[in-house]
């Protein structure tokens, strides 16, 4: 492991004014996205859609530091034969890859899951490195409900994240460590804070046991928000304060940066929360975004599968990327949303 090189990539992933595009939707997930805009989820349509994003030069060059890809996408070529990985590299962004195989039911723990994908991961990582990936992603899912999460669920997912992260660093790939506490349900912001803190404590404990070098990772956590069904929703400022409070308690300063997931928030809410945190400041890490839907919902709708709509889709992508780039520096304003 060359930690200096891993750190260099991790620092580039959280460079000021830039963030990560999560374009790693599984075939099932992107079908749902395409169904919503009336587009058939064929390999060609998936390729065309992602190509339009990667060819949005202004957005990619100025506001996107890296792109998380799906296994299909990292192997695809653009219409003109150029590998999609090469299109990403040409904009100065770093290609990455999703390597987990999804959350599966945890035995004897109703309503809880553990993320799988460790079998054969060493070999897959070596192949992905050859294909151009320099970072990877593994998502653990922690749900909040009556009696959950259990200690078993938190520990099982933290151990899997740590084993994945160690294998990544062995392969000279920066691991994005993503323990997501879901915002489904009716829990309060306080309950979200409690579960997120417990989860992150266990994650960093297991990373330490696994020998993972924190200077060579990027953390991708949820923000501290109440459940969608909670009767008392939080203000932007409250979310920012509570999120920073929890992370200061448990995230070591050695971690280069934190790239938040949007977790089902609206486009503007995800941007507003990131901006508010960066305006508060006073933390040792860079704070930026690693958004999927919060970056892509607008361009997907503008595109709707029609080649003539590509410029409009790229314009929509540029707007959202720019808004989040500004938020990563605490320079966003609602007035800029138009």
CA distances from 103 to 117, 122, 283 (A): 9, 19, 32
Calpha distance 258→55 (Å, rounded): 26
The tens digit of pLDDT for each residue in 38-67 reads 999 999 999 999 999 999 999 999 999 999
Q: Which two tokens stand for residue 115?
A: 């993320």
Query: Closest Cα to residue 104, out of 148, 68, 150, 156?
Result: 156
pLDDT of res. 338: 77
pLDDT of res. 27: 87
For strands 103-105 and 113-115, give the pairing.
antiparallel
pLDDT of res. 103: 97
**Per-block average pLDDT, block size 10, for the chain (338 residues)?**
97 98 94 94 96 98 98 97 98 98 96 98 98 98 97 98 98 98 95 98 98 98 97 96 98 98 93 98 97 95 96 98 98 93
Calpha distance 244→154 (Å, rounded): 21
Active site residues: 178, 220
The tens digit of pLDDT for each residue in 122-151 reads 999 999 999 999 999 999 999 999 999 999
pLDDT of res. 24: 96
């Amino acid at each position: 492991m060359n930690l200096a090189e891993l750190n260099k990539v991790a620092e580039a992933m959280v460079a000021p004014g830039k963030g990560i595009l999560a374009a790693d939707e599984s075939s099932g997930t992107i079908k749902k996205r395409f169904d919503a805009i009336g587009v058939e989820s064929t390999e060609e349509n998936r390729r065309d859609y992602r190509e339009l994003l990667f060819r949005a030069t202004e957005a990619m060059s100025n506001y996107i530091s890296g792109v998380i890809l799906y296994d299909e996408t990292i192997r695809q070529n653009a219409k003109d034969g150029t590998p999609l990985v090469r299109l990403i590299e040409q904009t100065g962004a770093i290609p990455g890859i999703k390597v987990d195989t999804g959350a599966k039911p945890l035995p004897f723990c109703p309503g809880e899951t553990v993320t799988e994908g460790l079998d054969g991961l060493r070999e897959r990582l070596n192949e992905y490195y050859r294909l151009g990936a320099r970072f990877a992603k593994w998502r653990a899912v922690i749900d909040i409900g009556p009696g959950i999460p259990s200690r078993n669920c938190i520990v099982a997912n933290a151990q899997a994240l740590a084993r994945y992260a160690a294998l990544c660093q062995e392969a000279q790939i920066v691991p994005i460590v993503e323990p997501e506490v879901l915002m489904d349900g009716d829990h309060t912001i306080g309950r979200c804070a409690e579960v997120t803190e417990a989860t992150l404590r266990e994650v960093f404990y297991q990373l330490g046991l696994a020998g993972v070098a924190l200077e060579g990772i990027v953390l991708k956590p949820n923000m501290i928000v109440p459940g969608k069904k909670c009767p008392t929703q939080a203000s932007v400022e409250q979310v920012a304060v509570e999120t920073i409070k929890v992370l200061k308690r448990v995230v070591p300063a050695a971690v280069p940066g934190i790239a938040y997931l949007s977790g089902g928030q609206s486009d503007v809410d995800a941007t507003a929360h990131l901006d508010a945190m960066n305006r508060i400041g006073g933390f040792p890490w860079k704070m930026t975004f690693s958004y999927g839907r919060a970056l892509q919902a607008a361009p997907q709708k503008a595109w709707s599968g029609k080649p003539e709509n590509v410029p409009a889709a790229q314009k929509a992508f540029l707007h959202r990327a720019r808004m989040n780039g500004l938020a990563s520096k605490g320079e966003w304003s609602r007035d800029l949303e138009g």
